[in-house]
């Protein structure tokens, strides 16, 4: 259970980081003083970060469901 919760926290941190990167890249892409080459590079990076963010969000959703299922099961029965 601790490993699942730790992984959940890691994924949440990664999601936040990727979202911030995405915001920064979006700002760079829409900046009025960017040349075409920079704009193409930023657009490529935008796609890569968006894909990674989608993958992390999918894994995060799965991790949340896993933790919820473990919590619903309750603690393991004591060994005899």
**pLDDT tens track for 25-63:** 999 988 887 788 988 999 999 999 999 999 999 999 999
- What's the pTM? 0.81
Torsion of CA 53, 59, 60, 66, to 10 degrees: 180
> Cβ distance 9 to 44 under 8 Å?
no
Kindly tell me if the per-residue pLDDT of 65 is higher than 80: yes
């Amino acid at each position: 259970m601790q490993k699942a919760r730790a992984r959940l926290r890691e994924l949440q941190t990664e999601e936040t980081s990727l979202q911030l990167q995405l915001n920064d890249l979006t700002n760079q892409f829409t900046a009025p003083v960017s040349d075409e080459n920079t704009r193409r590079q930023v657009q490529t990076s935008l796609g890569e970060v968006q894909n990674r963010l989608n993958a992390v969000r999918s894994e995060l959703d799965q991790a949340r469901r896993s933790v919820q299922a473990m919590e619903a099961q309750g603690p393991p029965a004591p060994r005899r």
